Structure 1
Amino acid sequence: MKEEIFDRYMQAGAAAKKILCEGAERIRVGASLLEVAEFVENSILDEGFGIAFPVNISLNEAAAHDTPSPDDTRTFAKGDMVKLDLGVHLDGYIADTACTVDLGDQPLLCEASIAARDAAIAAVRPGVAIGTLGTIVAHEIKSRGFLPVANLTGHGLDQYCLHKGPNVPNIPGSGGAVLEEGMVLAIEPFASTGTGFVHDGRREEIFSQQIRRPVRLPAARKILQEIESRNGMPFARRHVHVKSADLALSRLIHDGIIRSYPVLSDVPGSYVSQAEHTMIVTGDACIVTTA
């Protein structure tokens, strides 16, 4: 990896760590989800970085892909388990990091995802098979009495690319891709009190452009102009400042130009915790950019 690229990853990681901590401190009973999201994203921009994806604020059984709507009135309640997941980029080089804020009393569930993340990171080095990391993650979570979320994974990162191979499983496995020096990975275990599987919900607030194609609807053209600088990275409905945005987004989805990311949840009444770091594989281990 070139030194200037390495430096960009490290700078993005340091900013992500700082902003994650500051955002987590604002999650308290009675606080507004929308205000926390705006604080996090404004902080990223104020620090001179780009928003790699809309900040995810997912509650309780929701594991990922929830972000406030433009007129969101939700507030945090006592007992909530809150996943705060954010992405920072510098010239497209991304730091992806997440933590769980427990507004109830489930420290062991939070510990499960953290311990799984840290144990997997400790095993990262060239030559290690991806399946080995999944086995480590699953062991740490199951040994504490919970289930890893089987159909969510960590992932590779590249310039302006939030998800590329190899995927890092949260369940036991053998073989798979082998880690190589210079790979950039986000390891993000999810521990659940539910079934260990997430499903698509009805709520959709996050989108990304998939292809470039001319469109006739003026509002749709305006949206594509607004998100052009995203370079394909995800955006939120509240990032779009266009009249008739809902109609235009629906048309763009129908035409296959953008896709939506439904909120991913385990069964109602369950709780999910998450912990995530980004790292660069080195010659003999890894450097965690977001620690």
Structure 2
Amino acid sequence: MATTSETPARNIDAEITKYKVAAEIVHSVMQKLVAGAVEGKKVLDLVIEGDEALEAGAAGVYNKKAKGAAIQKGIAFPTCISVNNAVAHFSPLKSDPQSDTVLAKGDVVKIQLGAHIDGYAATSAETLIVGATEDEPATGRAADVVKAAWTAAEAAMRHLKVGEKNYGVTEIVDKVTAIWDCKPVENMLSCQYERNVIDGKKKIILNPGEQQRRDVPNETFGENEVYGIDILVVSAADGKASYTQALMQHANRLQSRSEDSRCTIYQRVSDVNYQLKMKTSRAVFSEAQKKSGAFPFNIRCLEDEKKARMGLQEAVQHGLVREYPIAYTAQGTYVAGFHFTIALLPGGPSLITQPPIWYKPEKVKTEKEVQDEQLKELLVRPLRESKKDKKAKKKAEKEDEE
């Protein structure tokens, strides 16, 4: 089909370059945060440091104008550091009651962040256990859940190939995490990425309920698609920590005027239009749009926190802005997460973001290991077949046909 001015031809190479530049920024910031996530460190200091480093990294690249306009770049997902049974999106403000949260030895710490160049976003997350080393590895359920999460992530990225199905990822993550008596966090979504979009049409769901399985259709992965894959695993048999439940908990906290674990991250909903009535709401919405565009933002980036909370309330009520609530699993459980950005290119899958910095098998001592031969074979398979392997495979197929 011929392209038009409304549907310009994609320059895949240029897109992938921008994704990878964003990923380099993310990796550099992640290195600093992993090194800084030590016993006694305040989470607040880390998330502020992360956001400042993301902004600085983006400011240093792509500074030539394109067709007379500056290239938009910056944070694609604010820095979040969620500890132990907090699932995701913990990024406190100085005024929050939990702003004094300090890391302790043995904490299971999930670090999540993202950057974008010209709307092409690379997002990443990894998990570490404070104080665990190769000489003194973590043990018990903390070790189990981290091992389960990273092994599931490795299996998932190898299943992400053109022609495969999204529910294949769902099933394989279930199968892997069960080895360590863990479960994927209920109803966790991973989405297709496009320019200025990190919640695209095609989705992958983990541990879905009946209604959620109906809501997420069976999809086939296509060539030149990019995905942000979120593997979140809980050290519990049922995986209960759905975002439906989290939203209900958040609403209950608002009704009871509780200030604990207040939501700090929001995002413009692209397909909703509404004329805000309050002057404050319009001003806050306009400021957020200028600073973050289509991507999630932390209230911290806005000029006046109190005014921002007031203005965002109306925008949320009318669906113009969505919240990223903080969800928790049961007390005494741990959640581990790994997030990667991957492109399904003609030559095979290409990992945009880097492998985890902290994780090494020697740092997590577990009693159980993968025994299933098919899983073992999958986990040692390279993401992309070499030209030599492809030729050998084609030759074998041709010989079989003869």
TM-score, normalization: structure 1? 0.92
- Residue 300 of structure 2 corresponds to residue 238 of structure 1: yes
- The residue type equivalent to 2:100 in the other structure is T
Separation of aligned partners in 2, 1:286 and 1:260: 32
1:148 aligned residue: 184
Return the index of the structure with the highest Cα Rg.
2
- The residue type equivalent to 1:149 in the other structure is V
Separation of aligned partners in 2, 1:52 and 1:212: 22
Separation of aligned partners in 2, 1:109 and 1:254: 36
SS state at 2:331 partner: coil
Separation of aligned partners in 2, 1:150 and 1:216: 37
Q: CA deviation at 1:75?
A: 1.6
2:199 aligned residue: 163
2:125 aligned residue: 98
- Residue 241 of structure 2 corresponds to residue 182 of structure 1: no
From 220, 227, 244, the counterpart of 2:288? 227
2:114 aligned residue: 87
Separation of aligned partners in 2, 1:148 and 1:246: 32
- The residue type equivalent to 2:348 in the other structure is A
Q: Deviations over 1:151-200 (max 9, x none)?
A: 10222111111111322233499x92111111101222111113302131
- Residue 268 of structure 2 corresponds to residue 209 of structure 1: yes
2:18 aligned residue: 8
Q: CA deviation at 1:212?
A: 4.5
Q: CA deviation at 1:246?
A: 2.5
Q: CA deviation at 1:217?
A: 3.0
- Residue 35 of structure 2 corresponds to residue 39 of structure 1: no
Separation of aligned partners in 1, 2:345 and 2:224: 6
Aligned residues of 1:183 and 1:281 also touching (Cα < 8 A): yes
1:66 aligned residue: 90
Higher fraction of helix: 2
Separation of aligned partners in 2, 1:181 and 1:140: 26
1:136 aligned residue: 172
Q: CA deviation at 1:216?
A: 4.3
SS state at 2:233 partner: strand
- Segments of 4+ moved more than 4 angstroms: none
Change (3 A) 1:216 1:70: farther
Q: Deviations over 1:58-106 (max 9, x none)?
A: 1211111221123322221233211111111001100011001212732
Alignment length, in residue pairs?
290
Q: Deviations over 1:28-86 (max 9, x none)?
A: 12111111111111111111251012222112111112211233222212332111111
Aligned residues of 2:341 and 2:352 also touching (Cα < 8 A): yes
Gaps of 5+ in 1: none
Separation of aligned partners in 1, 2:47 and 2:319: 28
Give the % identical residues. Answer: 23
Change (3 A) 1:257 1:124: closer
Change (3 A) 1:214 1:165: closer
Change (3 A) 1:252 1:74: same
1:76 aligned residue: 103
TM-score, normalization: structure 2? 0.68
- Residue 345 of structure 2 corresponds to residue 282 of structure 1: yes
Separation of aligned partners in 2, 1:129 and 1:255: 34
SS state at 1:281 partner: strand
Separation of aligned partners in 2, 1:63 and 1:165: 24
- The residue type equivalent to 1:248 in the other structure is G
Separation of aligned partners in 2, 1:212 and 1:47: 33
Q: Deviations over 1:124-159 (max 9, x none)?
A: 211111111122211111112211113102221111
- The residue type equivalent to 2:284 in the other structure is I
- The residue type equivalent to 1:191 in the other structure is V
Aligned residues of 1:156 and 1:186 also touching (Cα < 8 A): yes
Q: Deviations over 1:261-283 (max 9, x none)?
A: 21122222211100111000012
Separation of aligned partners in 2, 1:220 and 1:78: 42
